[in-house]
Structure 1
Amino acid sequence: GCSPSPTATIGCMERANTLLVCVLVGAVIHTASTSSTTLPCAISPSPRIASTWQHRVDSLEPPFPSLTPIVGRLVLRGGGKGGDSHHKHNQEEPVLCRYKKGGTHFEIMCLPTLVEQFREGKASRDDAVVGREVFKDAKKGDRPSAAELEATFGTASHEECIDIVLAQGEYQLTVAQRKAKTDEKFAAIVTYICSNYIEGGTKRAIPAVRVEEAMNHLKGLKIDPFRSVWFQAQDVARKIKEPLKLVKNEISATVTVSMALAGPASGVLHSNGGIAKVVEEYEEDKATFTFDFTAGEHERIVSDLTKATGGQYELKIHGADVSQEG
């Protein structure tokens, strides 16, 4: 015989390749129809997260319709080659983090453990989120308008809105995660009460074990893993005040700043729930604030005043021999 032409050879190869692809696809579909086969493929929804999407062909429940494959469900798993932190959490399931304000709520997809690290300043936004979109309903792919974002967050920037949702939103927890977070909040409330209250009769510090026992005997006490320690501690302190004879361990102090910094200093003192009885006095070149605060608030007051005034203030504790300058 005669040798086939180059064109004929190429045509045969193309048909053979097409046939091979069809056979492989058919085999995958046949296998998937009888089991929950997964086809992993690496992606990077944000700069510092490498995720794995699993295409499960036994259901159709995409969390992000714009990224929906022809068939299958996308399951995003955080982690990857971004460092040791990511390796530790590369099997963590993403969950919804919800932020409610007024009659509206917004959602983002996040990794629970990394949300906590974000709030502690140990992880970035890109570490904690999966995708970079804010939703009104993530399951339906319902996105808010720029006007809706502006009305709720004061900005239409998705990145700034995501920061707020991560910092203040509530996210779904497993039973183990909820218990661990609730236990942590319980311990923080005990610490707060011991730091800010004393025994009324003896003026002595109250042992943590007594506070714990009193809290454990309160009927119907529910610790919210998301609500702030300060608010919950106030409520608990009111309920155990009588049996433990609690009184606030209050300290009197005076802060002096220049007139140019009077506004920021006043804002700090009036916004702190642990500060009471603020008396303001103004002179030509300086402002003086006299107030009472609970002992456990000292570090926070110093930190907030330093940020607000750039360290340009003088704090004098009444009864102490020295004053503290920022």
Structure 2
Amino acid sequence: MSDRYTRVRYSHSGERFEILVDPDKGLLYKRGDLTDISNVLMVDTIFTDANKGEKASGTKLEEAFGTADPLEVAEIMFEKGTLQLTAQQRKEMTEQKLKQIISIISRTYVDPSTKLPHPPLRIENAMTEAKVSIDAFADAEEQLKDIVDALRPILPMRMETIEIAVKIPAEYSSKSYGIAKNLGDIKRDEWAVDGSWIAVISISAAMQGELLDRLGKATQGNLQTKIMK
């Protein structure tokens, strides 16, 4: 398929429909970053077979989509059909999704023997060995369970949560609160008489190091911490 255009395919009651679209604009539209369908289509034509130039009849369009308007049909096809990616798009999207998934695993799971997160390269090698398939369009979180299940025989991992108590001087509390909320779950907090912020933060054990490092930098080392459990 030419990289100058790609297509969206949709099947209904045994009938196949195709539209030709600009590859980059088509992807932007699919993601919701572009809203004008007319700027996406290469031609305002609905095909049954674009390679042969066979056009869908108005009757078939009415039966399948409830309208014969090509722009309305194209919108429905994008919503319900499949956008064919170019080889380069698929490669880039798959690589991006792979990095997201590896990051989530590294931030969420630990090696039971060391209670430390697995390095990203080790996770990636295990995914290759397990022949894990990445869906470029599906959300990374949605794919996580199946991927983790596939990795467990190769890469022991456990989701472990700990609670960390912190006491932070008032002048650093605002920034520290944002860091804690972003990386973990603030179970309870209060303000001391001297204005210090005291909190108990629940966080993945894999994220303990990053939390303490970022809080340390934000407070210039002026904090007290204690691992609760």
Superposition TM-score tier, normalisation by shorter sequence = 0.5 to 0.7
Q: Unaligned 5+ residue runs, structure 1?
A: 1-90, 252-297, 300-316
Q: CA–CA distance in 1 between the matches of 2:104 and 2:73?
A: 31
Aligned partner (choices 91, 94, 105) of residue 193 of structure 1: 105
Instruction: Say if 1:320 and 1:200 are closer, same or farther in 2 by CA, change over 3 A.
Output: farther
**What does residue 23 of structure 2 align with?**
112
Q: Deviations over 1:286-312 (max 9, x none)?
A: xxxxxxxxxxxx99xxxxxxxxxxxxx
Match of 1:165 in 2: 77
- In structure 2, the partner of 1:179 is 91
Q: 1:100 to 1:121 in 2, by over 3 A?
A: same
Contact persistence 1:198–1:205 (CA under 8 A): yes
Partner AA of 1:141 in structure 2: K
Instruction: Please tell me whether the aligned partners of residues 65 and 76 of structure 2 are also in contact (alpha carbons under 8 angstroms).
Output: no
Could you give the per-residue CA deviations for residues 86-137 of structure 1, whole angstroms, max 9, x where no partner exists? xxxxx96122221346744432110111122223443332332223344333
Distance 1:210 1:102, change over 3 A: farther
Per-residue CA shift, 1:26-76, capped at 9, x if unaligned?
xxxxxxxxxxxxxxxxxxxxxxxxxxxxxxxxxxxxxxxxxxxxxxxxxxx
Residues 234, 106 of structure 1: alpha-carbon distance in 2 compared, 3 angstrom cutoff: farther
Q: What CA RMSD, in Å, does the superposition of the two structures yield over aligned residues?
A: 3.7
* Larger relative contact order (CA 8 Å, sep ≥ 6): 2
Change (3 A) 1:92 1:222: closer
Following superposition, which runs of at least 4 residues in structure 1 exceed 6 angstroms of deviation?
A: none
In structure 2, the CA distance between the partners of 1:170 and 1:117, relative to structure 1 (3 Å rule), is: closer
Query: Partner residue of 2:140?
Result: 229
> For structure 2, which runs of at least 5 residues remain unmatched after alignment?
163-180, 191-229
- The aligned amino acid for 1:237 is V
For 1:249 and 1:98, the matched residues in 2 are separated by 43
Question: Quick check: 2:47–2:56 contact (8 Å CA) kept in 1?
Answer: yes
Max Rg structure: 1
TM-score (norm 1): 0.40
Say if 1:320 and 1:244 are closer, same or farther in 2 by CA, change over 3 A: farther
Q: Identity of counterpart residues, as a percentage?
A: 23
Indicate if the aligned counterparts of 1:99 and 1:169 stay in contact, CA closer than 8 A.
Answer: yes
Normalised by the length of structure 2, the TM-score is: 0.54
CA distance in 2, matches of 1:250, 1:134: 53
Cα distance change, pair 198–105 in 1 and its aligned pair in 2 (3 A): same
In 1, are the aligned partners of 2:3 and 2:86 still within 8 Å (CA)? no
CA contact (8 A) 1:99 1:170 kept: no
Letter aligned with residue 146 of structure 1: E
1:122 corresponds to: 33
